[in-house]
């Protein structure tokens, strides 16, 4: 039995591996109950009521009827739906009712089973009183509780393990993508074209060159130094985008028709850095730069109920000249979104004959103060 097989058995999402580990767990649980139960039956001299085969059958029956349904209800319904979403009150309430229901069902089932055995062996009937109820409640909490605790512990360990693995992947992705991010965000064509534009302005309109150089400095400083954090101010991210857009406006002049809408409160909002920039660059590189006539670019920033709604659209002159799978850094953005906000984000990319549109919705993080 090698380590790889054990790892696959415990962590694999393959259907057969999942069946194997569940079967192994419950078989081990039956064996544990049997090894504990036989000495107990011997010690209290109950062999006249419980044969070894009957005892083994009872343990399997109890596990199938009570342990498995209760354990799976807690681990696959209550924990993901309430506990992991920090809804502790509902989790505790539903757990209490589940334990109450299954414990009462177990006590009633055990009493009926005992009466059947006593009747078949002509033994005196055990009264259904407080002593019997407390005895069977103790058995239920001991055996079924152990199943629930063991299974939940394994489940919790797996959740922790995969969460840590995702965090490590995110850290590794961030490390590996630092240089790639710079390549995808500071392309030579943008840098050279911007410098060329600034140089041309020095020839006939030097008053604008200072502001353009300041914007370029802000962009480079932001990408090289400010983005080395997990989250950054949304306002700062938008301001850098505006610096980039203003540089491009100077370059394209009347060829660019631009509208920018910003609604909502962004003052305390934080965002993972450089999630918006690739889409803005795509609009200019594949939209404005490839058009000899006026090109429309519309950008919307909206903060709604803790989410950033970002939409950018640009007109295109030739549907065949632009492929939505070719965006600068788009695949990198998809990967980052899937790790940062699994099942909590929207990324829609649509293309028509004359328009290319991106819509992204991501959760915002806020300052505590």
Helices (H), 222-276: 234-252
What residues of the chain score a pLDDT lower than 50?
43-49, 179, 182-183, 320-322, 324-326
| DSSP structure class, residue 353 | S
- Number of Cβ within 10 Å of residue 186's Cβ equals 15
Distance between CA atoms of residues 312 and 347, nearest Å: 12
Q: What is the pLDDT of residue 313?
A: 92
Distance between CA atoms of residues 234 and 364, nearest Å: 9
Distance between CA atoms of residues 144 and 99, nearest Å: 10
- Give φ, ψ of 170 to 5 degrees: -65, -45
User: Dihedral sign, CA of 159, 162, 168, 174?
Assistant: negative
- Give φ, ψ of 300 to 5 degrees: -125, 130
């Amino acid at each position: 039995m090698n380590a790889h097989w054990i790892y696959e058995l415990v962590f694999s999402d393959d259907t057969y591996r999942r069946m194997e580990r569940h079967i192994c767990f419950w078989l081990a649980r039956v064996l544990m109950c049997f090894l504990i139960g036989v000495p107990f039956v011997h010690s209290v001299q109950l062999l006249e009521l419980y044969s070894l085969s009957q005892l083994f059958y009872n343990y399997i029956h109890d596990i199938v009827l009570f342990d498995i349904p209760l354990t799976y209800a807690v681990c696959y319904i209550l924990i993901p739906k309430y506990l992991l979403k920090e809804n502790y009150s509902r989790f505790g309430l539903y757990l209490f009712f589940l334990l109450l229901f299954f414990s009462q069902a177990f006590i009633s089932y055990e009493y009926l089973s005992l009466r059947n055995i006593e009747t078949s062996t002509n033994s005196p009937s055990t009264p259904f009183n407080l002593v019997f109820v407390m005895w069977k409640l103790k058995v239920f909490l001991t055996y079924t509780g152990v199943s629930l605790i063991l299974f939940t512990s394994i489940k919790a360990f797996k959740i922790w393990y995969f969460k840590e693995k995702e965090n490590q992947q995110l850290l590794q992705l961030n490390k590996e993508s630092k240089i790639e991010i710079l390549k995808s965000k500071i392309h030579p064509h943008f840098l050279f074209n911007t410098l060329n534009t600034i140089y041309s302005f020095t020839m006939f309109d030097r008053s604008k060159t200072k502001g353009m150089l300041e914007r370029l400095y802000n962009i480079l400083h932001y990408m090289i130094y400010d983005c080395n954090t997990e989250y950054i101010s949304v306002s700062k991210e938008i301001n850098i985008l505006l610096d980039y857009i203003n540089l491009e406006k100077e370059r394209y002049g009347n060829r660019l028709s631009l509208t920018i809408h910003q609604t909502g409160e962004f003052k305390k909002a934080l965002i993972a850095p450089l999630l918006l920039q690739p889409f803005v660059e795509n609009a200019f590189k594949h939209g404005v730069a490839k058009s000899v006539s006026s090109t429309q670019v519309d950008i919307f920033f909206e903060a709604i109920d803790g989410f950033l709604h970002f939409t950018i659209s640009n007109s295109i002159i030739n549907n065949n000249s632009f492929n939505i799978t070719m965006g600068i850094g788009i695949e990198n953005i998809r990967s980052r979104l899937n790790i940062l906000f699994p099942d909590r984000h929207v990324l829609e990319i649509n293309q028509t004959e004359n328009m290319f549109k991106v819509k992204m919705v991501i959760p915002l993080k806020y300052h505590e103060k």
